[in-house]
Chains A and B, each alone.
Chain A
């Protein structure tokens, strides 16, 4: 149901092409990372999938249904946690489900417990640390009914230490609550550590220039980042990224 297929997506703003004939697909329960130079239309891609804009050409299909310009078909986690400051953490976590029309408080409480947020149900967002806020934001998207989650550089505002903690946490919780995930980042190591597959975007107008299947077995331990294989991947991806920006 959760298969995302994007074909020949083209979008331009004021005559400047941002995406050109971009195609990609995500299989059910697959974790796909999108890597690209900054300003490479990654957020435009998300806005199109999220339905905020209509593409000029091409189709976006989720589970076989065309979702061009249709809001609410995917669940979304932005760069900033974007928790509503007047809601308690529990109510915030339920927001995504609430917007879709059905919320399950029990499931939310269980999920919060698993995420190490128990005891904070009635706290307000400003009382939480940056990492905890991001966890809450991720749980919010997990609790939304949509089968595909878009993650827009979710950890880029965190410090290095919290960031690697969060990456491990994310893999952990995803392992037991599988969803299809499209993860945008500009951090090669992050993409390698998390994803099943990595797509590299070119500079504007963006299209997929390379695709890497990441063969590390799951569950992944932190020390894979130190292996020879990991470094080799990193070099290869770096080369492609360099070439993409250099031309």
Chain B
């Protein structure tokens, strides 16, 4: 209920924008291959469901697999870097540097190295997913309350106990914000990787549509990507609510 109460403003703006779009396109006589109306896009989305359902499924599979591997890698990297400070000092700057390489540039290289199979696609998704998780988890570990750390040390906790009983649960909220970002990135990563050459996927559907000037279908693809990202995001939020029950109510985004 709270979601409905808070959510009506952005929804209203969205509907208003769609209406303006719907009205202006015929008014200025913009042809459909340049910019279709929301109505046309909606109709296309409903009618061509059998055409793209396979593509959609392929993208969902790819992004979920990539997301899982990416988050595991991300958490693993964060844990190793956190537990071995020397490694952290060495690799943290390199980690940031790695994010300055544009994925779009890297993608063709990966195809040259690994072919058109699933491997280069997964690598791309892992690359976009692991970074936000690693950074978020590292920050979370580091921000562990010094008061609690002091207590744990005085109480005789060893390094392993301090990590699993204090730092890990303490970093949970940060890890979840990383996971949320990574979840939405994973869809984008999957689509980019499909552009490179794939049998099926939203990326393929989109390239086919744009090369034949079926602009309406391009918009359908965009719509699908948005919905998928939102769905993934929502799934993580749901998971977060189940895992983190101890937060004081409404921490972060209170005051609607």
Contacts and interface: CB of A to CB of B under 8 A. Distances in A.
Given A84-B166, A99-B161, A71 B246 contact: no
Contacts of A71: 153-154, 156-158
A162 B112 CA distance: 71
Interface string A68-105: 00011111101010101111000000011011100000
B244 A86 contact: yes
Interface stretch (B143-151, B181-189, B233-241): B143-151
A124 B246 contact: yes
Interface string A46-66: 110011100000000000000
B169 interface: yes
A243 interface: no
Nearest to A78: B151
B61 interface: no
A73 B246 contact: no
A100 B165 CA distance: 13
B246 A86 contact: yes
Interface residues of B, number: 22
A80 B150 CA distance: 11
Interface in B146-178: 147-148, 150-158, 161, 165-166, 169-170, 172
B248 interface: yes
B147 A78 contact: yes
Contacts of B245: 124
Contact of A86 (B147, B151, B169): B169
Interface residues of A, number: 27
B155 A72 contact: yes
A82 B153 contact: no
Contacts of B157: 71-72, 99
Q: Is the interface of B mostly helix, strand, loop or mixed?
A: helix
A94 B246 CA distance: 17
A96 B155 contact: yes
A51 B245 CA distance: 34
Contacts of B166: 84
A180 interface: no
B147 A72 contact: no
A44 interface: no
Contacts of A74: 154
A207 B247 CA distance: 44
Nearest to A80: B147
Contact of B148 (A46, A82, A98, A100): A82
Nearest to A98: B165
A76 B147 contact: no
A144 interface: yes
29 contacts: A47-B154, A50-B153, A50-B154, A52-B154, A71-B156, A71-B157, A72-B155, A74-B154, A75-B155, A78-B147, A78-B150, A78-B151, A78-B154, A82-B151, A84-B165, A84-B166, A84-B169, A86-B172, A86-B244, A86-B246, A95-B155, A95-B165, A96-B155, A99-B152, A99-B155, A99-B157, A100-B156, A124-B245, A144-B155
Given A84-B166, A99-B165, 10 more contacts: A50-B153, A52-B153, A71-B156, A74-B154, A75-B155, A78-B151, A82-B148, A86-B244, A86-B246, A150-B154
Interface of B: 147-148, 150-158, 161, 165-166, 169-170, 172, 244-248
CB-CB nearest 4 A-B residue pairs: A72-B156, A82-B151, A76-B154, A86-B246
